[in-house]
Structure 1
Amino acid sequence: MQFDYIIAGGGSAGCVLAARLSEDPRVTVCLIEAGGMGRSFFIRAPAMVAAMVPGRPPIHNWALHTVPQAGLNGRRGFQPRGKALGGSSAINAMLYVRGHPSDFDAWADLGAEGWDWQSVLPWFRRSEGNARGADDLHGATGPLQVCDQSAPRKITEAFVRACAEVQIPTNPDFNGASQEGAGLYQVTQFHQGARKGQRCSVAAAYLHQVMRRPNLTVLTGALVDRITLAEGRATGLIVQTRDGEKSLTARREVIVAAGSFGSPALLLRSGIGPEQELRVHGIAVAHALPGVGQNLQDHLDYTISHHSRRPDVVGLNPRGLWRLAKAGWRWRKTGAGLFASPMAEGGAFVKSRADLPVPDLQMHFVIGIVDQHMRKLHLADGFSAHVCVLRPESRGSVGLLDANPASPPRIDTGFLSDPRDLALLMRGARITESLLASPALAPWVGKRLYPHGGSDAALEADIRARADTIYHPVGTCRMGQDALAVVDPALRVRGLAGLRVVDASVMPRLIGGNTNAACVMIAERAAEMIRRRPS
């Protein structure tokens, strides 16, 4: 089978690319996704994030694990990633956050020429269909529907007041003129039409409605084995399908969009990467590229959970389950209420010191108890306050366990390998504890799940015992112009023709916020680059 463009991975970036490239009827596009169509009830109902993220069973979830982490007492971290069209936008909390403008200026300074804030802002605006309307910073007509939450809990509003009581200002728009402050997250959720209140995954936003285009082929339940190469050029993909192995040929380009774990793993299986890593697994070196799989960065999250004295939160006791059942019925009829909640309703971007130019900590306030990614269940009504370091100094890597495409990648997040991250996370934990002790939250705050005793040594021990990802891995095929860059600023794999990487793996540095909106922006811009500057 031959196509002009073949896209490996139907996640957020892959869905944008398939939709945008197939707008040109003169070209043919094939999108390959290992998961399903991304239309299930679990995906459409926002509250079902609580069922998908734990990966028990793995519903639309790769449910990956890291190698033992020295900085986390030797624990293996859990890494949920979306396995369906839409990728992780099908299982995330739907929070629409772009990061700080200075993050993109830093990308440009690191060699990603043309990815500064003023250059990327038009692509954010192009993708965004914000219910608040358009202005200099926002778009209103883009495919990705963005809106305010329909019915945030009273405890979330109290969280915002609690932040004000500890001198964290209130901010109605984290993507506005200033990121700093506390407020309610906007969400990627349908805000009009028959799907009002449903999750607006990137597949629902961009892809589902155009899948009947005659020039677009979408293969689901298909696992990409490797990229085929000839004379320094990517020529296609070998794919494992239900009907056996297939060889697909790309007349113009192969585009890898399998995410920060899947993309480097695919390059490595294809013989593209560090020579030593390839030889360990008996893979012939097709193109030595030492940066593949390096530079992994992720947000390490520390969670403080409490029982709630009031029942207007989520609990797994009979009373709480009855409330959820009633909320589900209401959501099916109106698209509103608790079932439409992202669960992580409130948050804040905080400076650990007043003299900092930008926030260096982020908070997520969840209206239920989150323990071990909701893998450890608690019957009590409760809530969780999360804090993470926005721009960690620690670095990890992604490699292979073996050359089998069905095997998970080897993930080493390197959490807390740089001591600066621990010191900053401890400061974030202290700020979080102070706001949880504020008068605004007093009517709700009950028993703390994991009291640590109060000392710095006890807090450090608790962080090492319980902290883990809040699901923002990036950087493993980073763009730049130095010897360890994997792709150039046009996202072309260095030293090979006809091959690009387009997803969060190309970020040179982790942004100060949730990563999905930036991933969509990257794909929007990449689609235009591909049309104008073929590889």
Structure 2
Amino acid sequence: MAITCDCPMMQPGPTLASTCGGGAFMLFMGLLEVFLRSQCDLEDPCGRAQYRRHMDSVYDFIVVGGGSAGSVVAARLSEVPEWRVLLLEAGFDEPTGAQVPSMFLNFIGSSIDWGYQTEPEPAACLGETDRKCYWPRGKVLGGTSVMNGMMYMRGSRKDYDSWAAAGNEGWSYEEVLPYFLKSEDNKQMNDMDQGYHATGGPLTVAQFPYHPPLSYSLVKAGEELGYKQRDLNGIHHTGFSIAQTTNRNGSRLSVARAFLRPAKNRPNLHVMLNATVTRVLINQTTRQAYAVEVRNSFGGTEVIFANNEIVLSAGAVASPQILQMSGVGDPQVLSRAGVKLVHNLPGVGRNLHNHVAHFLNFQVNDNNTTPLNWATAMEYLLFRDGLMSGTGISEVTAFINTKYSDPAEDNPDIQLFFGGFLADCAKTGMVGERLDNGSRSIQIIPTVLHPKSRGRLEIRSADPFEYPKIYANYLTHPDDVKTLVEGIKFALKLSETKALKRYGVKLDKTPVKGCEKFKFGCDAYWECAVRMQTAPENHQAGSCKMGPRGDPSAVVDNLLQVQGIDRLRVADASIMPAVTSGNTNAPAIMIGERVSDFIKQRWLGITNAPYPVPHGGLSNVLQASDSQPQLAWQRWV
């Protein structure tokens, strides 16, 4: 039920009506927005982070980027009252409409989306205009956690063990698991694998309140093919699941909402919105980062100094871009852009990669088309339940093995996503609106989990507001194509199971434009199809790779310090040597937790972060270099 809001309403971000089509349905969405904004738990005017119009000139720590990792870092560092922390975010606060789970696709392409595009691709997105792939990224407090599908997926044990085996000490699965637990407040502990989940953290994790009947049938279909329904963040990483998500009582829980809003009354935490960092200033004699240059909301440029450290959490595009603008990177790249070299670090912008997918469309003979009307809306407004409280069948996911992956290793090479039955902006105002032939449409989306193709990112010029050149190089490695084709074959088998045949699931066999010369369904056809209609996921990673000293492709060490530069760290998905198996939001949060601990260890000599323990629970044992700092920390906490 709605409660009275005691604070003035904000006007953050685009409206739902502006993200939908025209006509009467646009009017409906406009009225829906008015009612949503009257819901104090959704609008949350009193709870939103208190952002400032003016910055001070000096802080102890400066965090660049208020996304999934940066929100965590700012919140955790400001736990220490003596530390003055500044969080700089290029976007504004999250819009009210983004809190509604079913509207999760609405804000792609809006003003809170950076809207990056790749350079023309040689082997993918060939059917797109100029062969460019589109990259949505959140330009908003909370980052892409404001516009993603909210799926909470950590990745497999082998992901992290392989990071550690590559020389990144402290990043094995057993060593990172406690940091996942530190954040988590799981609302379905009894349904999850014991020892792999926790309660009491700021991040609420639970399934959506509403599940379409087809969600259960998809899980049953997986069982027919030998895949169990499992907690995919638990003992095993192979199987099907109605996934847990970052939602709280049927509304989106962005990382900013989870971490920053509870910290809003801390006088030592300053949050600046519409503040774009253009470069980091580095003393070339001492090799220390000491300040950031910021374009503020008034269009002016300021220099803000950091007594201790600067943390870049601007994401897989902006973090390497800022480093290159600061003179840190490949000398040839910087020379072409007209930027003076400060530190030779050729790995900056390299190792860029992403999960890549292909959409398969299926017709479904289901006449249960539900209007997205006031009855649907009121069920959500009054009870946070019903069609608008979930993401349709997008809540379902699966991790499966192709012939190129050994099931015994529990390290699947394909993730399946699903789409359909979504209460968003259908042209007719219907949930799962019918096609012209009277049927409905769903999508099965096989996705390559361990891509071998690698791209790069380079600044174009010395203008910090000019988007960088992004060379994704999708599907340039033949193994990625082979794996994706096998994923398609599995999806077709899934559509033929008894559980889905009762829905009349039938593949749309309209040939992909540009692939008509191949026999539909043969390997050559699918190889053509995935290149013409490539679907990159929003899981970009690796462009500031973590690696041991001596690794020529590494940008940061295992403490996430930029190699060769003191007092400068990177903490976001860009540090991943190889992208994790699945959605990257939860790993980015974990990375934020880890770097916060590293910083506390350096400057306090102590930490209250968890340490690896057997799966009996979470350790919060305080450690200290001597008794006095420990007493100080206990006093602060």
Instruction: Give the Cα separation in 1 of the matches to 2:167 and 2:447.
Output: 27
**The one of 294, 297, 308 aligned to 1:242:** 297
Letter in 2 for 1:521: M
Letter in 2 for 1:158: S
Aligned: 1:233 with 2:233 = no
Match for residue 323 of structure 1?
372
How far does the alpha carbon of each residue in 1:82-140 deviate from its partner, in whole angstroms, 9 at most, with x for none?
A: 11111111110000000001110000111211100111010010011100238411111
How far does the alpha carbon of each residue in 1:337-383 deviate from its partner, in whole angstroms, 9 at most, with x for none?
A: 2111134111110011373412111001222599xxx9xx9863321
Provide closer, same or farther for how the CA distance between residues 164 and 446 of structure 1 changes in structure 2, counting only shifts above 3 A.
closer
How far does the alpha carbon of each residue in 1:465-503 deviate from its partner, in whole angstroms, 9 at most, with x for none?
A: 112211111100011111221001000000011100000
Q: TM-score, normalised by structure 1?
A: 0.92
**Cα offset for 1:433?**
0.8
**The one of 466, 469, 492 aligned to 1:407:** 466
Match for residue 193 of structure 1?
none
Letter in 1 for 2:267: P
Matches within 5 A, 1:83-162: 83-133=139-189, 135-162=194-221
Matches within 5 A, 1:496-511: 496-511=565-580
**The one of 465, 477, 486 aligned to 1:418:** 477
| Alpha-carbon contact 1:234-1:497 (below 8 Å) kept | yes
Match for residue 316 of structure 1?
none
How far does the alpha carbon of each residue in 1:57-92 deviate from its partner, in whole angstroms, 9 at most, with x for none?
A: x14211111111111136211110111111111110
Identity across the alignment (%):
34
| Alpha-carbon contact 2:365-2:503 (below 8 Å) kept | yes
Match for residue 315 of structure 1?
none
Instruction: Give the Cα separation in 2 of the matches to 1:450 and 1:201.
Output: 38
Match for residue 106 of structure 2?
51
Match for residue 395 of structure 2?
345
Match for residue 476 of structure 1?
543
**The one of 288, 291, 297 aligned to 2:353:** 297
Instruction: Give the Cα separation in 2 of the matches to 1:19 and 1:379.
Output: 46
| Alpha-carbon contact 2:85-2:268 (below 8 Å) kept | yes
Instruction: Give the Cα separation in 2 of the matches to 1:176 and 1:518.
Output: 15
| Alpha-carbon contact 1:306-1:445 (below 8 Å) kept | no
**The one of 384, 387, 392 aligned to 2:443:** 384
| Alpha-carbon contact 1:130-1:140 (below 8 Å) kept | yes
More strand by percentage: 1
Match for residue 178 of structure 1?
236
Instruction: Give the Cα separation in 2 of the matches to 1:366 and 1:175.
Output: 22
Instruction: Give the Cα separation in 2 of the matches to 1:59 and 1:309.
Output: 37
| Alpha-carbon contact 1:305-1:369 (below 8 Å) kept | no
How far does the alpha carbon of each residue in 1:148-174 deviate from its partner, in whole angstroms, 9 at most, with x for none?
A: 22111111111111122222x222311
Residue 204 of structure 2 aligns to a residue whose secondary structure is: strand
Residue 250 of structure 2 aligns to a residue whose secondary structure is: coil
Aligned: 1:284 with 2:333 = no
Unaligned segments of structure 2, at least 5 residues: 1-56, 512-519, 605-637
Matches within 5 A, 1:347-362: 347-353=397-403, 355-356=406-407, 357=409, 358-362=411-415
Instruction: Give the Cα separation in 2 of the matches to 1:391 and 1:82.
Output: 24
Match for residue 494 of structure 2?
435
| Alpha-carbon contact 1:436-1:445 (below 8 Å) kept | no
Letter in 2 for 1:228: L
| Equivalent residues, number | 513
Provide closer, same or farther for how the CA distance between residues 436 and 37 of structure 1 changes in structure 2, counting only shifts above 3 A.
same
Provide closer, same or farther for how the CA distance between residues 411 and 327 of structure 1 changes in structure 2, counting only shifts above 3 A.
farther
| Alpha-carbon contact 1:95-1:342 (below 8 Å) kept | no
More off after superposition, 323-332 vs 507-516? 323-332
Which structure would you say has the larger RCO, counting Cα contacts within 8 Å and 6 or more residues apart? 1
Aligned: 1:18 with 2:48 = no
More off after superposition, 26-35 vs 435-444? 435-444
**Cα offset for 1:49?**
1.0
Unaligned segments of structure 1, at least 5 residues: 191-195, 313-318
Aligned: 1:455 with 2:505 = no
How far does the alpha carbon of each residue in 1:384-425 deviate from its partner, in whole angstroms, 9 at most, with x for none?
A: 111111111111111112222222222111111100010010
Instruction: Give the Cα separation in 2 of the matches to 1:504 and 1:355.
Output: 27
| Alpha-carbon contact 2:273-2:297 (below 8 Å) kept | no
| Alpha-carbon contact 2:339-2:461 (below 8 Å) kept | no
Residue 189 of structure 2 aligns to a residue whose secondary structure is: coil
| Alpha-carbon contact 1:369-1:382 (below 8 Å) kept | no
Aligned: 1:487 with 2:556 = yes
Q: TM-score, normalised by structure 2?
A: 0.78
Provide closer, same or farther for how the CA distance between residues 222 and 439 of structure 1 changes in structure 2, counting only shifts above 3 A.
same
Letter in 1 for 2:104: V
| Alpha-carbon contact 2:353-2:542 (below 8 Å) kept | yes
| Alpha-carbon contact 1:267-1:273 (below 8 Å) kept | yes
Instruction: Give the Cα separation in 1 of the matches to 2:481 and 2:578.
Output: 19
Instruction: Give the Cα separation in 1 of the matches to 2:158 and 2:79.
Output: 33
Letter in 2 for 1:480: G
**Cα offset for 1:209?**
2.4
Match for residue 533 of structure 2?
466
| Alpha-carbon contact 1:144-1:188 (below 8 Å) kept | yes
Match for residue 210 of structure 1?
263
Match for residue 364 of structure 1?
417
| Alpha-carbon contact 2:208-2:250 (below 8 Å) kept | no
**Cα offset for 1:512?**
1.1
Letter in 2 for 1:355: D
Provide closer, same or farther for how the CA distance between residues 143 and 516 of structure 1 changes in structure 2, counting only shifts above 3 A.
same
Match for residue 123 of structure 2?
71
**Cα offset for 1:446?**
5.3
Task: Look at both structures and tell me which one has the larger radius of gyration over its CA atoms.
Answer: 2
